[in-house]
């Protein structure tokens, strides 16, 4: 381990927040103090934007007490950005690094951030400037290649599982058809985690739809009708990114059926439009001729899935801290760089090992759910439960009179 300082470091946070993204930040800050190869540790405000505007917080000396509180605070403590740097932008980042003698860059984010890290790393290599670049994974979508899973996902999955569990009891109390729209534009991992809400045979979610399994309107309505006829209620977990067999998303389809005004640039998250469309579709198509429409409600879980405090997976908190720490440890080795990844060790118990994977293996591309995780285009398999349960950990312990006999 080198004890002589080799220059300054920059750390930044990017993309959609998670409940544990600050664990990784604090992991970097506290681990750095155990080493000598970094001089000053600068936190870039709003990610790459802070780098090109010289907007830094010096993290070198903040108190551990404050850092532990920050670690428990959802969303990016350094602020985040949606900027997706092009070549010119990356040039500016690199120039800022040269000016500030930055030799280490830690970037917490998803696949776009990994790509930014890769471009900047390549620029430095081309100029022969000694820069070690580390991507620290973060995304509730769980859609990074190579990584077994990504910090942020387990806590969001825990929130979704708990919310669906509560909503199942709500729907059982006052039966009807309930649609819950869950985040995940391209990958269904978060929606699939709703399967953990099931405790007893009759529990929902009774139907689960993910983007990886396209579904037609007829099949969807047939599924709902069948469940509702059998159970007199139906709880549906559906990804905001569900697709039609022709490859179009349901969201695009509902948007087409709506009048848009000149400024109305409809977006997927932060809108109840898809949920309302699905609820309305069910009501329109499943109302018996001359009969009463079924009681249909739709909720869109929205941003609280990624930022709700107090529903963090313990495994996630530990691992998010750890990937930050590991990035600093790896950086002690001159010339190293890459994305800090996790893989499961073989064996009967959940056990993780950390490793570095080249930035190019993670950059840009999206991972999708394996077909073995999806059943019949409307459910999730036991294999997926085995994959996700150790990540989410303990869920609320509940009880039901179904455990008794009715008099």
For residues 186 and 367, give the distance between their C-alpha atoms in angstroms, rounded to a whole number. Answer: 9
- Of 42 and 374, CB closest to a second copy: 42
Exposed, middle or buried by CB within 10 Å (0-12, 13-18, 19+), for 61?
exposed
Instruction: Please name the helix (run of DSSP H) or strand (run of DSSP E) that holds residue 351, with its range, or none.
Output: none
Looking at the DSSP assignment, which residues form a beta bridge with residue 179? 236, 298
What track of x and - describes contact with a second copy for positions 378 through 407 (by CB under 8 A)? Answer: -----------------xxxxxxx-xx-xx
Strands 234-239 vs 207-209: parallel, antiparallel or unpaired: parallel
Report if residue 170 touches a second copy, rule: CB under 8 A: yes
- Of 201 and 403, CB closest to a second copy: 403
| Binding range to a second copy, per CB under 8 A, among 42-50, 104-112, 355-363, 384-392 | 42-50
Closest CA to 15 of 80, 94, 76: 80
Task: Report, in Å, the least distance between residue 334 CB and a second copy.
Answer: 27
Residue from 39, 57, 360, 375 touching a second copy (CB under 8 A): that is 57
Considering only residues 241 to 300 of the shown chain, the ones binding a second copy according to CB under 8 A are 259, 261, 263-265, 267, 269-273, 275-276, 279-280, 283-284, 287, 293, 296-300
Task: Report, in Å, the least distance between residue 92 CB and a second copy.
Answer: 20
Closest CA to 178 of 216, 207, 202, 152: 207
The site that binds a second copy (CB under 8 A) totals a number of residues, namely 85
What are φ and ψ of residue 366, in 5° steps? -115, 140
Residue from 174, 217, 232, 334 touching a second copy (CB under 8 A): that is 174
DSSP 41: E
Closest CA to 67 of 400, 333, 324: 324
Task: Report, in Å, the least distance between residue 355 CB and a second copy.
Answer: 29
| C-alpha distances in Å from residue 3, one per residue of 39, 149, 205, 320 | 10, 33, 54, 26
Residue from 33, 34, 66, 127 touching a second copy (CB under 8 A): that is 66
- Of 75 and 146, CB closest to a second copy: 75
CB atoms within 10 A of CB 175: 15
What track of x and - describes contact with a second copy for positions 118 through 157 (by CB under 8 A)? Answer: ----------------------------------------
What are φ and ψ of residue 161, in 5° steps? -60, -45
- Report whether 71 contacts 38 (CB < 8 A): no
Considering only residues 183 to 212 of the shown chain, the ones binding a second copy according to CB under 8 A are none
| Binding range to a second copy, per CB under 8 A, among 57-65, 117-125, 222-230, 246-254 | 57-65
Task: Report, in Å, the least distance between residue 314 CB and a second copy.
Answer: 13
Looking at the DSSP assignment, which residues form a beta bridge with residue 137? 109
Whether the CA torsion 19, 21, 24, 30 is positive or negative: it is negative
- Of 73 and 360, CB closest to a second copy: 73
- Of 83 and 91, CB closest to a second copy: 83
| C-alpha distances in Å from residue 401, one per residue of 144, 175, 202, 204, 406 | 42, 17, 13, 16, 8
Looking at the DSSP assignment, which residues form a beta bridge with residue 58? 42
Could you confirm whether 141 is annotated as catalytic?
A: yes
Residue from 304, 318, 375, 385 touching a second copy (CB under 8 A): that is 304
| Binding range to a second copy, per CB under 8 A, among 168-176, 248-256, 351-359, 380-388 | 168-176
For residues 163 and 193, give the distance between their C-alpha atoms in angstroms, rounded to a whole number. Answer: 11
* Helix 314-331 vs helix 153-173: crossing angle, to nearest 10: 170
Task: Report, in Å, the least distance between residue 351 CB and a second copy.
Answer: 26
- Of 117 and 273, CB closest to a second copy: 273
CB atoms within 10 A of CB 359: 24
Residue from 76, 144, 208, 332 touching a second copy (CB under 8 A): that is 76
Residue from 44, 48, 78, 278 touching a second copy (CB under 8 A): that is 78
Task: Report, in Å, the least distance between residue 107 CB and a second copy.
Answer: 15
Considering only residues 305 to 324 of the shown chain, the ones binding a second copy according to CB under 8 A are 306-311
For residues 301 and 155, give the distance between their C-alpha atoms in angstroms, rounded to a whole number. Answer: 14
Catalytic residue, candidates 39, 130, 141, 246: 141
The residues annotated with a catalytic role in the active site are 141
């Amino acid at each position: 381990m080198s004890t002589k300082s080799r220059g300054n470091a920059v750390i930044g946070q990017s993309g959609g927040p998670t409940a544990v993204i600050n664990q990784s930040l604090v992991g970097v800050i506290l681990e750095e103090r155990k080493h000598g190869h970094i001089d000053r540790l600068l936190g870039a405000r709003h990610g790459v934007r802070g780098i090109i505007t010289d907007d830094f917080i010096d993290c070198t000396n903040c108190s551990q007490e404050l850092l532990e509180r920050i670690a428990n605070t959802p969303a990016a403590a350094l602020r985040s950005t949606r900027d997706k740097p092009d070549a010119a932008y990356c040039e500016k980042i690199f120039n800022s690094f040269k000016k500030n003698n930055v030799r280490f860059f830690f970037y917490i984010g998803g696949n776009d951030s990994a790509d930014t890290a890769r471009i900047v790393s390549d620029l430095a290599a081309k100029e022969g400037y000694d820069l070690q670049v580390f991507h620290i994974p973060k995304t509730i979508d769980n859609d990074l290649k190579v990584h077994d899973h990504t910090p942020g996902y387990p806590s969001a999955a825990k929130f979704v599982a708990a919310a669906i569990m509560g909503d199942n009891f709500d729907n059982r109390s006052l039966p009807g058809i309930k649609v819950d729209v869950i985040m995940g534009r391209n990958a269904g991992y978060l929606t699939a985690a709703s399967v953990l809400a099931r405790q007893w045979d009759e529990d929902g979610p009774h139907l689960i739809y993910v983007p990886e399994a396209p579904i037609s309107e007829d099949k969807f309505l047939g599924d709902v009708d069948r469940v509702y006829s059998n159970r007199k209620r139906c709880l549906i977990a559906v990804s905001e990114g569900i697709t039609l067999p022709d490859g179009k998303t349901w969201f695009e389809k509902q948007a087409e059926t709506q009048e848009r005004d000149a400024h109305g640039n409809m977006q997927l998250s932060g809108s109840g439009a898809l949920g309302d469309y699905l609820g309305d579709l069910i009501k329109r198509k499943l109302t018996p001729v001359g009969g009463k429409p079924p009681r249909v409600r739709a909720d869109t879980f929205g941003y609280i899935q990624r930022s709700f405090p107090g529903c963090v997976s313990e495994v996630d908190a530990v691992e998010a801290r750890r990937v930050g720490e590991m990035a600093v440890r790896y950086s002690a080795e001159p010339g190293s760089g890459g994305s800090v990844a996790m893989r499961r060790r073989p064996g009967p118990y959940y056990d993780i090992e950390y490793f570095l994977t080249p930035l190019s293996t993670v950059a840009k591309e999206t991972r999708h759910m394996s077909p073995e995780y999806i059943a019949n285009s409307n459910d999730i398999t036991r294999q997926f439960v085995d994959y996700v349960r150790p990540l989410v950990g303990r869920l609320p312990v509940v009880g039901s009179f179904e455990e008794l006999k009715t008099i």
